[in-house]
Structure 1
Amino acid sequence: MEKFYHFLTLASIVVYWLLVAGVTLRVVLKRRAVSISLAWLMIIYILPIVGVLCYFLFGELNLGKKRAERAKDMFKPFEQWFTGLNDCNAHSPETFGRHIYKIDELCNHRLGLPALSGNTLSLQSAPSDILHSIIKDIEKAETSIQMVFYIWHPGGLVDSVGTALIQAAKRGVNVRLLLDSAGSPRFFRSPWHTMMKDAGIEVIQALEVSPWRIFLRRLDLRQHRKIIVIDEKVAYTGSMNMVDPAYFKQNSGVGQWIDIMVRVTGPTVNVISAIHCWDWEVETGKRMLPSLPECHIEPEQSPHHPIQVVPSGPGMPEHLIHQVLTLAINQANESVRITTPYFVPSADLVETLKMTAQRGIEVELIIPLKNDSLMVQWASRAFYSELMYAGVKIYEFYGGLLHTKSVVIDKQFCLVGTVNMDMRSLWLNFELTLAIDDEAFTEQMYQLQQSYIENAHEVVLEKWQQRSFYSRFLERLFYLFNPLL
């Protein structure tokens, strides 16, 4: 019996060694950033068995066989639809500003998707104003309402949105609602789910979380977009989930969530609708491409308000949003101002920010003082010193959980949407960003960012260097886990 246990022990060691060696080879042979590969190797070696299990669950982009095949088959028809927008006179590169011109080139060559002019934009930052605006537009809907959200959290004015959707469905409006399974568990357990389905609303659970799927698909791959399209005439996107901040995560100790939404009309609405249709087909297999927009842009019309829609996620060209972000920052001549709730950037993005500051551009980063993820909070701080040494100014916002995702370049051009500056948003999730070449809108966004700074304190390098050894240890510890953050 003793020999049997000895043999079993040796066999277990050999099997585990082979497993670790196999996973190590897989990590090394994958073509990705060296920093990510090294972080995964550290996790695998520091956390025996658990590290290997984490890699199988979270280490590779795995949409699941059925969805992956569907996304591959979908790309060509969607690319053809996108390319058709180039024939629309709303695509007029000769009128574009220098910031969006290069981004239009990039997105057009990689996805066939051009920037389009002739839009109107409204920046909304007060939660009650946002929700009342959405309700008002839903009440005017005549034919269709399409929605995608990561989180739908019942309570407060969100219940009024739900009521408006049910009333719209009862008067014959086609309502399609796609909600992330991990982000909206409370909704799917609530009476609202049943009431909406009974009213004829199509409610689909995106990327369903289930123990049976644990090894079939990467579990932290999430549907993170926030989209509303009404009658293909009005669209909303931005950082705000379908939540009323006064009723959401009140016990988390971070204060109310601070968000924005952008209300859009014009040709870009049809493009945002097409992104919803992409998500709907990935999940259901049903194709519902919208009509191409009607574009009647007069040559003398000014300003043109061009918008480049930049989607990302499995099935889309890899790293597109990361490329757009890098390209936008590299074009800065005067200033770069960024707000993000989760700051765990890639090594490439860190170098881009440092280089931009080192060439004399004012670079400002605004992030929340308190975060709903302690791991992210500590990992973010691991980047402070090298960024401040390079000249980047860092502000910690103390007025709540600053959830706005925005980048303003030279006070003339901006990026707004759903994308956090972390590995999951930039490389993994279904996300959406609008690149907006509109000085009046950008000025509004810049002033809103300024209001965030007025409710923040600047991190001073000399004082930061005096932080405790305990803080430094936690920063470096959680930095190692950045592939999971």
Structure 2
Amino acid sequence: MNTPISAPFILHIALATGLSLRILYRRLQVNTALAWIVLLIAMPFAGPVLYIMFGDPTLGQRRLKLGQRIRHFYQEAYALTREDGADLAGIPGPFDALAGSIMRDSGFPVLARNSYTILSDAGTIIDSMCRDIDRAQCDCCLEFYIIDPAGRVAEVLQAVLRAAARGVDCRILADDFGSKALFRSDWPERLRTGGVRLIRSLPVGLIKSLSKRSDLRNHRKLLICDRTVAYTGSFNLIDPRLFKPDSHVGEWIDLMMRIEGQTVDALAAVVNADFLLEEPGAQLDRVALRIDPRQAPLPSTHALMQVLPSGPEMPNSTIYEFIVAAIFNARRRVRIVTPYFIPDQAVLLALTSAAKRGVTVEIIVPARIDTRLGQFASQAAYEDLLTAGVAILRFGGGLLHAKAVLIDDGVALFGTVNMDMRSFYLNLELSLILYEPQINADLGALIDGYAARSTALVPQVWAARPASQRFLENLLRLAGPLL
């Protein structure tokens, strides 16, 4: 007796087949494509709905083209051309070639006339930000993934209100999802009443999710005052004593860099483009773009820096290419600090290959993070890394949220990027590529402090972990490309 094939089953097969073909023609990363295809087949109807909502990692062709045009406008206006950049001969090979590749992809050259201070304490970061906002005379721009107005963050917002009251043009761009606490408070009304322009970045909502992915987020952290001083790094605008106490991971620990010099202009180009792309009614087609005057001369000190914005608004995954190429080209040492470590096969191969050829590879992660899915997906890679000779240290003094990659003695990556596919492809991120031995040494000293408060995984002990834990790791490893 023949069993009739049900209409829902036929519809499921048609949807899964059609969307799988779309995935194949989009030429995604192999692991990401396979993860989506498995999801489409294994989850009737729910899989297609998830793919339609979260499967397209772009913000649209219009934003892509406008973003390139606006950034190029500011690169020209701020004299960020190749001729004004630093001589790449001072960068060791093959990183000079990588720097040139970043320049061609992003338009941002290596810039030399810079000074910097690395800040590692949340209270010091907030104090320093408030001082610079209080000194601002012309322009004050903040762009953050998370702004939570609790605790000492209110001091920063009060400083912005004081600046606006004395005639400074103050703008805040806050991610709509990450900054829910801000938008649900009375601060938006207070800021707007005080003359501050507050804009939601990548607004979320039920209707919007039908046409745009709601999980593509603006993960950048930036403060710029008067094109004179800038801050960027891993620090969200939070008070770590009060942020996410129910996650039981301890206080968040971050790094921020205060910069003066040419790199401030490059960061201003990124900030201005982001504001114009989000601001309602911005006259983009008329190139009604602002050129803020520089309020201070360039410093005489030299520190080689290159700005690299990344994410679905950029034409290429340059940050991912740089990280993989840099690890493959390491000769002595690779040090990585990241809260979220979910490597794909290319990153995993680069790290294990480096360790096998005698490069010292050290990865420092928090002992616990604020997402259990991410925790198990991260741990799925540990055994392969430990077997290859990679040292994995788990920091026990809180949620180590700092993000840095140090290659040998003279190249470092610093900013907002985590070592996972979300940071490489889905979030708007911002990195500084630093070609300076002294910066590398300064970051290395801070990493030494993190390492001293960490516990190294012992391969034999890790291999003896419970079978149930292994199962969860292997299961969630399949979802790694989607996390």
Task: Pick the TM interval, shorter chain.
Answer: over 0.9
TM-score (structure 2 length as normaliser): 0.93
Counterparts of residues 47-66 of structure 1 (less than 5 Å): 47-64=43-60
What is the alpha-carbon distance in structure 2 between the residues aligned to residue 290 and residue 318 of structure 1?
A: 27
Give the deviation of 1:363 after TM superposition. 0.6
Give yes or no for the alignment of 1:391 onto 2:389: yes
Deviation at 1:17, TM superposition (A): 1.6
Q: Please give the alpha-carbon distance, in whole angstroms, between the structure 1 residues aligned to 2:323 and 2:386.
A: 20
- For the 8 Å contact 1:257–1:402, the answer to whether it is kept is yes
CA contact (8 A) 2:105 2:316 kept: no
Q: Which residue of 1 aligns with 2:196?
A: 201
User: Quick one: distance in 1 between partners of 2:378 and 2:102?
Assistant: 29
The DSSP-based 3-state class of the residue aligned with 1:179 is strand
Q: Is the 8 A contact 1:313 1:431 kept in 2?
A: yes
The alignment status of 1:210 with 2:242, answered yes or no, reads no
CA distance in 1, matches of 2:101, 2:312: 18
Map Cα deviations across residues 38-94 of structure 1 (whole Å, 9 max, x no partner).
111222223322222211111111325xxx414313423533543652355443323
Q: How does 1:8-19 map to 2 (within 5 A)?
A: 10-19=6-15
* Contact 1:342 1:420 (C-alpha < 8 Å) held by counterparts: yes
Contact 1:396 1:456 in 2 (8 A): yes
One-letter identity of the residue aligned with 2:210? F
Q: How far 1:423 moved relative to its partner?
A: 0.8
Letter of the aligned partner of 2:26 in structure 1? K
Task: Show CA shifts across 1:155-187 (max 9, x none).
Answer: 121000010000110110000100000101110
1:99/1:139 CA distance change after superposition, 3 Å: farther
Instruction: Give the conservation status (yes or no) of the 8 Å contact 2:406–2:440.
Output: yes
Q: Does 1:414 align with 2:412?
A: yes
1:73 is the counterpart of 2:66: yes
Check the 8 A contact 1:120/1:264 in 2, yes or no: yes
Instruction: Judge conservation of contact 1:382–1:475 (CA < 8 Å) in 2.
Output: yes
Identity %: 36
Q: Which residue of 1 aligns with 2:450?
A: 452
For residues 270 and 434 of structure 1, what CA distance do their matches in structure 2 show? 13
Q: Give 1:181-330 correspondences, 5 Å limit.
A: 181-284=176-279, 285-286=282-283, 288=289, 290=291, 304-330=302-328
Equivalent residue number for residue 111 of structure 1: 106
User: Deviations 1:410-458 (Å, cap 9, x if unpaired)?
Assistant: 1332111000111110011110000112222221211111111111111
Compared CA separation, residues 74 and 90, structure 1 to 2 (3 A): closer
Q: Distance in 1 between matches of 2:199 and 2:70?
A: 23
Q: What are the Cα deviations for residues 375-421 of structure 1, in whole angstroms up to 9, with x where unaligned?
A: 00000010011111222111111111110010111133211100011
User: Is 96-105 or 116-125 further displaced after alignment?
Assistant: 96-105
Structure 2 counterpart of 1:357: 355
Q: Are the aligned partners of 2:249 and 2:368 in contact in 1 as well (CA < 8 Å)? A: yes
Measured in 2, the distance between the counterparts of 1:364 and 1:386 equals: 14
- Residue in structure 1 matching 2:20, options 13, 17, 24: 24
* Structure 1 residues 92 and 445: CA distance shift in structure 2, 3 A: same
CA RMSD, Structure 1 to Structure 2 (Å): 2.1
Count of matched residue positions in the alignment of Structure 1 and Structure 2: 473
Which whole-Å deviations, capped at 9, do the CAs of 1:195-251 have from their partners, x for residues lacking one? 001001000001111011122101110000001100000000000100010111112
Post-superposition Cα deviations, 1:106-130, rounded to whole Å, max 9, x if no partner, equal 1112122201001001000011000
CA distance 1:269–1:100, change in 2 (3 Å): farther
- Contact 2:58–2:313 (CA under 8 A) maintained in structure 1: no
In the alignment, the residues of structure 1 paired with residue 174 and residue 31 of structure 2 have an alpha-carbon distance, to the nearest angstrom, of: 33
Letter in 1 for 2:53: L
Asked whether the 8 Å contact 1:180–1:207 carries over to 2, the reply is yes
Q: Does 1:149 align with 2:144?
A: yes
TM-score (norm 1): 0.93
Report the residue type matching 1:75 in the other structure. Q
Please list every run of 5 or more consecutive structure 1 residues that lacks an aligned counterpart in the other structure. Answer: 1-5
What is the distance in 1 between the residues matched to 2:89 and 2:17? 55
User: CA 1:445 to 1:153, structure 2 compared with 1: closer, same or farther past 3 Å?
Assistant: same
What is the SS of the residue equivalent to 1:155?
coil
Counterpart Cα distance in 1 of 2:18 and 2:293: 49
Matched, 1:430 2:428: yes
Asked if 2 retains the 8 angstrom alpha-carbon contact of 1:116 and 1:308, the reply is yes
Residue of 33, 39, 42 corresponding to 2:38: 42
> Aligned AA for 1:274?
A
Amino acid at match of 1:429: N
Tell whether 2:127 aligns with 1:129. Answer: no
Residue 25 to residue 449, structure 1, CA distance change in 2 (3 Å): same
State the 1:16 CA deviation.
Answer: 1.8
1:100 CA drift (Å): 4.8
* Range with bigger deviation, 223-232 or 460-469: 460-469
Q: How does 1:150-189 map to 2 (within 5 A)?
A: 150-189=145-184
CA distance in 1, matches of 2:291, 2:451: 40
Aligned position for 1:3: none
In structure 2, what residue type is equivalent to 1:30? Answer: R
> Which amino acid is 1:79 matched to?
H
Q: In the alignment, what sits opposite 1:95?
A: 90
Q: What secondary structure, in the 3-state scheme, does the structure 2 residue paired with 1:154 have?
A: coil
**Counterpart position of 1:82:** 75
Deviation at 1:304, TM superposition (A): 2.2
Aligned equivalents of 1:297 and 1:271: distance in 2?
A: 13
Q: Which amino acid aligns with 2:15?
A: L
Q: Note the C-alpha offset of 1:96.
A: 3.6
SS in 2 for 1:214: helix
Contact 1:100 1:308 in 2 (8 A): no
CA contact (8 A) 1:138 1:164 kept: yes
Separation in structure 2 between the aligned mates of residue 421 and residue 61 of structure 1, nearest angstrom? 18
The 1-side partners of 2:351 and 2:72 are apart by 32
Cα distance between partner residues in 2 of 1:345 and 1:234: 34
Q: Measure the CA separation in 1 of the matches of 2:168 and 2:74.
A: 25
Q: Helix, strand or coil for the counterpart of 1:385?
A: helix
Distance 1:71 1:189, change over 3 A: same
